[in-house]
Structure 1
Amino acid sequence: MGVFGLLGSGNLGNDGSLEAVLGYLRAEHPRAAVDALCGGPEVVASRYGIPATRLHWYRGEYRTASRLGAIAGKGLGKLVDVFRTAAWVRRHDVVIVPGMGVLEATLPLRPWGFPYSLFLLCASGRLLGTRVALVGVGAAPIRDRPTRALVRLSARLAAYRSYRDTLSRDAMRATGVDTARDGVYPDLAFALPTPSAAPSPGTVCVGVMDFHGGNDDRARAEEIHRRYLDGTTAFVRALVADGRTVRLLTGDACDASVVEAILDAVDSPLVTASAAASLADLMKEMAAADTVVATRYHNLVCALKAGTPTLALSYAAKSDALMERMGLGAYCHPARDVDADRLLDQFRSLEKHAAETRRTLADRNEEAARQLDRQFADLTTTLFPSSPSTRPSTARRENR
């Protein structure tokens, strides 16, 4: 059994999806030997206790190649990875890609980066008879033709697909992928344990992101980032003026620069930065807060899972869909155009309805847990048909 993706690379949401799938495998298939082909093998091996192999042969894969040697190294790496990926896939009966937005380009993405790696995985699986499962993944319309082609081929070659929202399934259907048998379930991170945390009255968690727009916004990336940073900083400053304690959270290693910029601009002991190193740590912080305002998708998932009233600084349709699904569709604000005054009005409205919101989230979280039970039962039936499972075998895919 293999798991595949940009895991252990600093993105806490990706690692949370891995943790959820490992929890399922250890509970339902404890004899399965699991290893990973991933972005951060040292982190995955030490944190999750499974053997892990580096995703790319060329170690400078994610550094900009400007010198001839680096360009040649990247090019050679693409060829070597064909054989490395196939050799790894061949050792497995099943490979799971756990969640993540592997079929989207809502953030800057090059076709020869992860889309190429995913295509190698799915093509190798089809050629070598290894079942590749895209489990609870995100998808979105992609304008760039090479990226769209690789994503479409990867999806078609996979033996199993399920999505974290109907927008994702619709996006794949629009590319020509037959999604008639593909299921839709809540994000895998909703399967993680809900933390118990000591309350910290009056605290507002603000989840920030090194946001520069999407794949089609490269020409305006710095302008988009500046507007996002200025608006978010003004909002934090307004919270401090009201005497509120603010806890800055991240979801990826690259977000640290945004935290530092806000701390420099809002020089107040009321503003502190979290050192959370996992999705579980983030969830604990959010469970202890009165309110959460967050940008990254899995920051939102953590806050909603914790049952804390949440306002989304939405950078993609997936964030809006998640908030709508959890009953908080009215509390979305565009990350590309953060208006601190309007955001503060939405924030105050959310706090006014906090008790009602917490009840709504409790109900939606119970339903999400039931749906994810069906997701894992479906996965067992499809990928491990001869393996006994403690989950109901009659479970059907959600929202077919």
Structure 2
Amino acid sequence: MTPVRVGVFGLLGSGNLGNDGSLEAVLGYLRARHPEAAVDALCGGPETVTARFGIPATRLHWYRGEYRTASRAGAIAGKGLGKLVDVFRTASWVRRHDVVIVPGMGVLEATLPLRPWGFPYSLLLLCASGRLLRTRVALVGVGAAPIGNRPTRALVRWSARLATYRSYRDTQSRDAMREMGVDTARDEVHPDLAFALPTPPVNGPDKLSVPPGHVCVGVMAFHGGDDDRARAEEIHRRYLDGTTRFVRALVADGRRVRLLTGDRCDAPVVAAILDAVDSPLVTAAEVASLADLMTEMAAADSVVATRYHNLICALKVGTPTLALSYAAKSDALMDRMGLATYCHPAREVDADRLLDQFRALEKHSAELRQTLAERNVTAARHLEHHFTALTTALFPTADHAHTSRKAP
């Protein structure tokens, strides 16, 4: 039999650990349930994806400067030509596959700055090509949110409508797509795909360069959402100042602080905090995957974090966590894991109030660890159901063969 040809699509290998973690979870599912599948990627960082995950990968955009600001005539012309070339490149790639999976990620939201002719346009090309060429396109465990920008909203809405299969990482995402005019009657909600990743052992072989009993603080190059462009620098300054004051207060209490990131663009925030606090009690971790983040967070007493997948890593290893929430998805995640009380707005970081919430978090550490252990068991069970549903929807022949093998 010819192996089923599966493509994975997205801003993968581009420096965002959460995106790559979602890919890792989907590849784990494919290798466990569909080991015969031939898998390759159309993605933002093909060299990284091939080196790390061992699958062939093609660059998402023909024009290499797609995500750089175009100010000169040559760059503007290159971007314009690239949009046209990508129509044919995307269709040609989709045509070579039986199934294309978009693994997790917030591909149907604009909670961070987003241009309509960037990734939303690429996603529409993918879903339209799938419909025209009869290739099944699945948006698996994706995030969605209300979108104010009309062109972006239209591109996202049509992408979702043209997809063969959709599932979401929280109820708010499904509700947002319904409000945008997408029929979500058959769409399911499951925990984020990253909850399917293996949890590193608490006392694993890797030795951290910080003693136990520290606090992990996950930071982010946060400038607000797509609708906050006019206030982006003000929002970032307020976030950085509040977070720095909080770290300084922890150090004044004699606490060791470990700074973590989730994307390569977060490095300047780490550097700014290290420079402002200037204490040997504050160190920065070098992380290259969600597994690295989980290893760091499992060794901590508690975690305060901003990025969505930083939160997931902390919750998954059962460490009491306080969210610097920048979008409804963070609030929904914390509520689902039983920590709804421990959210603080990233746009208005009040170091004094944050410190009070942090102390309350640590006071209830033992019971929160028990709650997280129970919620993680539930999340794992739901994801098993999710992957079974995905096989039924995308691999009907394989699902039938699997059922037949199990029959007496």
TM-score of the superposed pair, with normalisation by structure 1? 0.97
CA displacement, residues 28-58 of structure 1 (integer Å, 9 cap, x when unaligned): 0000000000000000000000000000000
Distance (whole Å) between structure 2 residues aligned to residue 230 and residue 246 of structure 1: 16
Number of the residue aligned with 1:397 = none
- The reply on whether 1:279 has 2:290 as its aligned counterpart is yes
Contact 2:140 2:165 (C-alpha < 8 Å) held by counterparts = yes
Amino acid at match of 1:235: F
Cα distance, 1:140 vs structure 2: 0.2
SS in structure 2 at match of 1:386: helix
- The reply on whether 1:308 has 2:319 as its aligned counterpart is yes
Uncovered stretches (5+) of structure 2, i.e. residues with no partner:
1-5
Amino acid at match of 2:107: V
* Residues 201, 59 of structure 1: alpha-carbon distance in 2 compared, 3 angstrom cutoff: same
TM-score of the superposed pair, with normalisation by structure 2? 0.95
SS in structure 1 at match of 2:235: helix
Number of the residue aligned with 2:3 = none
* 1:235-254 paired onto structure 2 within 5 Å: 235-254=246-265
- The reply on whether 1:14 has 2:25 as its aligned counterpart is no
- The reply on whether 1:76 has 2:75 as its aligned counterpart is no
Distance (whole Å) between structure 2 residues aligned to residue 234 and residue 70 of structure 1: 41
Number of the residue aligned with 2:58 = 53
- The reply on whether 1:324 has 2:344 as its aligned counterpart is no
Amino acid at match of 1:107: L
Distance (whole Å) between structure 2 residues aligned to residue 365 and residue 114 of structure 1: 32
From 162, 171, 174, the counterpart of 1:169:
174
Aligned length: 393
SS in structure 2 at match of 1:112: coil
Contact 2:287 2:293 (C-alpha < 8 Å) held by counterparts = yes
From 33, 42, 54, the counterpart of 2:38:
33
- The reply on whether 1:92 has 2:97 as its aligned counterpart is yes
* 1:80-229 paired onto structure 2 within 5 Å: 80-198=85-203, 200-229=211-240
* Residues 116, 68 of structure 1: alpha-carbon distance in 2 compared, 3 angstrom cutoff: same
Moved more, 381-390 or 125-134: 381-390
Distance (whole Å) between structure 2 residues aligned to residue 295 and residue 390 of structure 1: 44
Cα distance, 1:196 vs structure 2: 1.0
From 284, 292, 302, the counterpart of 1:291:
302
Number of the residue aligned with 1:230 = 241
Cα distance, 1:101 vs structure 2: 0.1
Distance (whole Å) between structure 2 residues aligned to residue 86 and residue 59 of structure 1: 19
Distance (whole Å) between structure 1 residues aligned to residue 177 and residue 265 of structure 2: 29
Distance (whole Å) between structure 1 residues aligned to residue 166 and residue 239 of structure 2: 34
Cα distance, 1:201 vs structure 2: 3.0
Percent identity between the two aligned chains:
83
Cα distance, 1:326 vs structure 2: 0.2
* Residues 45, 148 of structure 1: alpha-carbon distance in 2 compared, 3 angstrom cutoff: same
Amino acid at match of 2:19: N
Distance (whole Å) between structure 2 residues aligned to residue 282 and residue 370 of structure 1: 23
Distance (whole Å) between structure 1 residues aligned to residue 403 and residue 388 of structure 2: 6
Number of the residue aligned with 1:347 = 358
Distance (whole Å) between structure 2 residues aligned to residue 230 and residue 282 of structure 1: 24
Amino acid at match of 1:230: D
Amino acid at match of 2:390: L
Amino acid at match of 2:51: S
SS in structure 1 at match of 2:232: helix
Cα distance, 1:274 vs structure 2: 0.6
Amino acid at match of 1:305: K
Number of the residue aligned with 1:263 = 274
Cα distance, 1:195 vs structure 2: 1.1
Cα distance, 1:368 vs structure 2: 0.1
CA displacement, residues 95-130 of structure 1 (integer Å, 9 cap, x when unaligned): 000000000000000000000000000000000000
* Residues 166, 299 of structure 1: alpha-carbon distance in 2 compared, 3 angstrom cutoff: same
Uncovered stretches (5+) of structure 1, i.e. residues with no partner:
394-400
Contact 1:104 1:142 (C-alpha < 8 Å) held by counterparts = yes
Q: CA RMSD in A?
A: 1.2
Cα distance, 1:197 vs structure 2: 2.6
